[in-house]
Amino acid sequence: AQSVTQLDSHVSVSEGTPVLLRCNYSSSYSPSLFWYVQHPNKGLQLLLKYTSAATLVKGINGFEAEFKKSETSFHLTKPSAHMSDAAEYFCVVTILTGGGNKLTFGTGTQLKVEL
Amino acid sequence: NAGVMQNPRHLVRRRGQEARLRCSPVKGHSHVYWYRQLPEEGLKFMVYLQKENIIDESGMPKERFSAEFPKEGPSILRIQQVVRGDSAAYFCASSPTADTASNSPLHFGNGTRLTVT
């Protein structure tokens, strides 16, 4: 079984300050981990993915995440928030199974960026 | 290149009616996944299809829900005799292979928002 826990349902930051969105995972096997972003009334866009290569993963729009096996964490960070970053962010875990690949989503973190 | 296309974007049905949600995957993608997002929740897996075959429907309710992905045409998620609890956003995703983890992450559509009145 696999699961993800997003520790904060809402995060509020000021524009230009760092962003930290926390995610812990649980998986019986070596997981693949993703962060997706969802803007209002839109589909999901992949920000970045970890698939057992480099533990520090760089994604789009200046986001990055670090896979820490000892802490079972995959926190998402960005050095400087922009107004356009306001959206909902989902941490996702998956393992490749014989019958394809199912994603397990966290409950999401709503990021608010204030002036 | 067109991404995953879902229609309609919004669908309103009265209790007891049928809802049909369509998903056209990215051209060349033969693997389709349906997910449901309830308010204030993350997406939950419903069903995984590969052209003409249902591979995994472990997340789909046993009654009233069905899905298909015919050889020609879009994938269809069908909900019969809808109830208020079916109100949610339904997302379709596609990939060219089963291995979405390493090389080809899922491409998501913009979703269909179903409202049951």
A10 pLDDT more than 90:
yes
B9 pLDDT more than 90:
yes
Q: Cα–Cα distance between A98 and A107 in angstroms, integer?
A: 26
**DSSP E strands, chain B:** 5-7, 10-13, 19-24, 31-37, 43-50, 53-56, 65-68, 75-79, 88-95, 107-108, 112-116
**pLDDT confidence of residue B39:** 80
Mutation target for A interface from B36, B99, B108, B115: give the one with most A CBs within 10 A.
B108
The residue-averaged pLDDT of B5-30 equals 96
Query: Given an 8 Å threshold on Cβ–Cβ distance, is A90 in contact with B42?
Result: yes
**pLDDT confidence of residue A96:** 65
Nearest-CA distance from A100 to chain B in Å? 5
B5, closest residue in chain A (CA to CA): A43
Q: Which residue type occupies B38?
A: L
**What count of CB pairs under 8 Å joins A to B?**
71
What tokens does A103 get?
Answer: 């994603």
Nearest-CA distance from A64 to chain B in Å? 17
Q: Cα–Cα distance between B113 and B42 in angstroms, integer?
A: 15
Other Cβ atoms closer than 10 A to B73:
10
A15 — pLDDT class (breaks 50, 70, 90): very high
The residue-averaged pLDDT of A5-9 equals 94
The residue-averaged pLDDT of A49-76 equals 92
Which range scores top for mean pLDDT: A11-20, A86-95, B48-57? A11-20
For chain A, what is the mean pLDDT?
A: 90
Q: Cα–Cα distance between A61 and B67 in angstroms, integer?
A: 36
pLDDT, tens only, A74-110: 999 999 999 999 999 999 988 766 556 678 899 999 9
Contact call for residues B32 and B97 (beta carbons, < 8 A): no
The residue-averaged pLDDT of B43-48 equals 93
**pLDDT confidence of residue B51:** 86
Percent of chain A with pLDDT over 70: 94
Q: What is the DSSP letter of B106?
A: P
**pLDDT confidence of residue B87:** 96
